[in-house]
Structure 1
Amino acid sequence: MPINIPDGLPAKEILHHERIFALEEEVAEHQEIRPLNVAILNLMPTKIETETQILRLISKSPLQVSCDFMRVSTHKSTHVSADHLVKFYDTFDNFKDKNYDGLIITGAPVEQMAFEDVDYWDELCQIIDWSQEHVFSTMYLCWGALAGLYHLYGIPKRQLGAKLFGVFPQRLCDEYNFLTNGFDEVHYMPHSRHAAIDTNELAKHKELHVLSEGFATGPAIIATRDFHEIYVTGHFEYGRDTLADEFWRDFHKGLPIRVPENYFPDDDPEKQPIFTWRAHANLLYRNWLNWVYQMTPYDPNQIPSAIASLRSSTDEAMDKF
């Protein structure tokens, strides 16, 4: 939550430089408060597990958040009951006339396929295009991040020689950014993917800012400078045992799978994994929701115009770089 300060306090300029929200009394007194409305497009086959993981992170914020679950209509889910989908999920048709403060687009186990070969690719592109005008800030996770960067910026993915699988150190690139405010200089993030961002193409887009990265993983957290889009290439939402479950699943299927790196003590899969990313995962989501809360308009009908205004001011600032 922001701090309230006396009007005109000199410290405001310093706090602003350090990316800390500080509201002057006059502004704070006129704030209108409502729950944040966040939509979650869950592309993972393990719907219930993913729901729980994301809601666990959202719940750590002191803000009241209302969550709606979205699914694609052009793909049939086989790992969850139809009753669950009917009861808790709506298709895009029920969202497209609404505005949201936030949207989370999850990953999906399809990174070895060409984007255009994914059966719901066209529908996903429609949702991403809708979010550009109707969602104040969208967070893309893992394959969702690769897909968003490809659709919006034409940045291709590249296939990795071996699956990136484990918990990897990420170096903080901007300690004063709102999203990573409070992060240690090195944080850890789980990764489980066969593809990565083409960093040469990424570097051509000055509007995309790398906030943390790793030697093995490449960029880990990327954001547009207006925070309208946030890309997380790993799985901050993963629980302690998620990578272990993936390992044992593939192991018992006889599939080629390595022990996840930097995860099991002594690389022994019989030992309980060490949960090294939980604090930073909570912090990222808390920072994100806090920023959205500060910036999104009180009237959801004004979200499209607020997005346009934010984009215009950011474009003007970028022209000065």
Structure 2
Amino acid sequence: MEKSSCFFLVAYADGSGAQGSLVEDEIQIGEIKTQAVFGGMLTDFGDFQRRGVDGILGLAYPPLACNPTCLKPVFDEMVGRKKVKEDMFSICFAGAGGSLVLGGFDAKMAKSRPFYVPLLKEKERSFYRVGLNESLIVGGVEVSMPEMKTAIVDSGTTLIMFSKNTFDKLAKHLKTAHCDVPDLCERNSWFQEIQCFTEDEEILDKMPTIEIPFSNGEKLELEARDYLIPIYVSMLFLRTSAEYLVLDAKASKPKHSDCLSSSASNRTKGSDAPFACFVFVPE
């Protein structure tokens, strides 16, 4: 590798990122050891560094490992050097912590059988892209979503992102078919692009399950506690249906008046309380 190209720069959609030099050394993850080239961070920006985190392990395909120098990802090195049994990895997500298995799948981590969805055939794969069935199943009712043809499964993203049209159709269906949910069908419903509400067990119990059908017939089932994202702000616990959040717990007034309007104001304990504004960003 030429010395003139031994650097990296990586940036993320939330405005964070890092840059530095490339180094080659032995990497050990669990019992697996391999020689690999990786980035040594010299500077960072945004909210890149988190307490208790030593680094980021990328699991993307090689075409995405050019930042700008193209490298062979660490897991690909493990596969190429036969350090793992299979060209497979699995991730178990949990509320706190989780598990990563390189080279296979650990059945003890799952409460139910795993199901498989084939990756789409592409000339050169950059993402883990799968086919969808152009619909959502909301509380047992199939709702047509023509834009939902494919999806990208991303281990680095903990959110489910819909296009704005899909989100609007989902919101319209919910506000038509599930008005037994408190404040859902009000004019200033909390289920919209900029909104939040304090933890409410009645809402979580009454909101329907949402199933995402894949092209091979399998379905991903999400309960309300899965798709309403929990956010902690000062002493309040809030949830949102949106995608990204803008948070300022020090301010005394909201940046977006919608966040404390109508029914939402009751759920955030008044205008002097710390608040969170949630901003939906289409893909």
TM-score bracket for the superposition, by shorter chain length = under 0.3
Structure with greater contact order relative to length (CA < 8 Å, sep ≥ 6): 1
Question: Normalising to structure 2: TM-score of the pair?
Answer: 0.27
Question: Normalising to structure 1: TM-score of the pair?
Answer: 0.25
Whose Rg is larger? Answer: 2
* Structure with the larger helix share: 1
* Structure with the larger strand share: 2
